[in-house]
Structure 1
Amino acid sequence: MVLFDNSIIRLDYNPATDIMEVEYPDLHDYLLSEIKRSIDTLLDTMKHYDVKRLLLDSTRTIISVDDEQRREIATYLAAGMTMTRVQKVARVQSASASEETTAQNNIRHIQKALTLPFELQNFINKTLAVEWLIGKSK
């Protein structure tokens, strides 16, 4: 069921699996304040529905900001998620090798800077991510 939808993010929640799916937003400098507000909505919704599993889909994300701004948004999201009861976060990787390299660097930075109380895994496709979230993968 769609819980929220705007031009930045769409929150789709499946109560049967307790998985909230969100496409990682396009990152453009003129949208950064709106992206943060949308992340706040995501976090509030996760708290309200007590979401334990989150699927972040980065496959179609378009990025036109510098690495520092990307890191800022990723850190803002990760820090906010530490205030929820999420247990597992699956990230579906970008198809772009250069985008994925930067994303992996940001993830390493976040894992060093924050103590994440949830598991975080990257996947090459949504099927594998969902299997891991619901506990069917090894």
Structure 2
Amino acid sequence: MILFENSILKLDYNPATDILDVKYPDLHDFLLPEIKHSIDIMIDIIKNYDVKKLLLDSTSTLISVSDEESREVAVYLASGLTRTRVQKVARIQSPSVTVEKTAQGNLKHLQESTALPFELQNFASMTEALDWLKE
């Protein structure tokens, strides 16, 4: 069931599994304010539906911002998620080496600088990610 959709994010929720499937947005500098606003909406929806499992799909994400700006978005998302009851976040990796290098740097930064109250893991495929979320 689609809970929200705009040009930045699409939130597809399955109440039977309590998994919210989110296509990670493309990161372009002119979109950063809109991305943050969309993240705020997503966090409100996660709270309202009391979502416990989040699937972030980065398979088609494009990045045309600096590493610092990308990290800022990742930190913004993670800090928003810390204010919810999310327990597990599965991220499906991008086939792009450049995107994945940036994402890995962001994940390392988050794990070193913040005590995340949820489990966070990367997966190469949708099947692996869903299996882990359903455990």
- Is the pair's TM-score, using the shorter chain for normalization, greater than 0.5? yes
Instruction: Give, as a single letter, the amino acid of the residue that structure 1 aligns with 2:67.
Output: D
Distance 2:25 2:94 in 1: 12
Q: Which residue is equivalent to 2:74?
A: 74
Q: Is residue 94 from structure 1 mapped to residue 107 from structure 2 by the alignment?
A: no
- Is the Cα–Cα contact under 8 Å of residues 62 and 99 in structure 2 kept in the other structure? no
Structure 1: 4+ residue segments shifted above 4 A: none
Instruction: Give, as a single letter, the amino acid of the residue that structure 2 aligns with 1:40.
Output: D
Distance 1:124 1:20 in 2: 18
Distance 2:66 2:87 in 1: 30
Number of residue equivalences: 135
Distance 1:37 1:78 in 2: 14
How big is the shift at 1:114?
A: 1.0
Distance 2:113 2:48 in 1: 27
Instruction: Give, as a single letter, the amino acid of the residue that structure 1 aligns with 2:17.
Output: T
Q: Is residue 64 from structure 1 mapped to residue 64 from structure 2 by the alignment?
A: yes
Task: Give CA deviations for 1:21-72 in whole Å, capped at 9, x if unaligned.
Answer: 0000000000000000000011000000000000000000011101000000
How big is the shift at 1:99?
A: 1.5
Distance 1:50 1:6 in 2: 21
Secondary structure, aligned partner of 1:11: strand
How big is the shift at 1:98?
A: 2.1
Q: Which residue is equivalent to 1:10?
A: 10
Q: Is residue 85 from structure 1 mapped to residue 63 from structure 2 by the alignment?
A: no
Please provide the CA RMSD for this pair: 0.5
TM-score by length of 1: 0.96
- Is the Cα–Cα contact under 8 Å of residues 28 and 65 in structure 2 kept in the other structure? yes
Q: Which residue is equivalent to 1:29?
A: 29
Q: Percent identity?
A: 64
Q: Which residue is equivalent to 1:126?
A: 126
Task: Give CA deviations for 1:78-115 in whole Å, capped at 9, x if unaligned.
Answer: 01100000000000000011211111111010111111
- Is the Cα–Cα contact under 8 Å of residues 61 and 99 in structure 2 kept in the other structure? no
Please list every run of 5 or more consecutive structure 2 residues that lacks an aligned counterpart in the other structure. Answer: none
Instruction: Give, as a single letter, the amino acid of the residue that structure 2 aligns with 1:20.
Output: L
Distance 1:41 1:90 in 2: 20
Q: Which residue is equivalent to 2:45?
A: 45
- Is the Cα–Cα contact under 8 Å of residues 47 and 85 in structure 2 kept in the other structure? yes
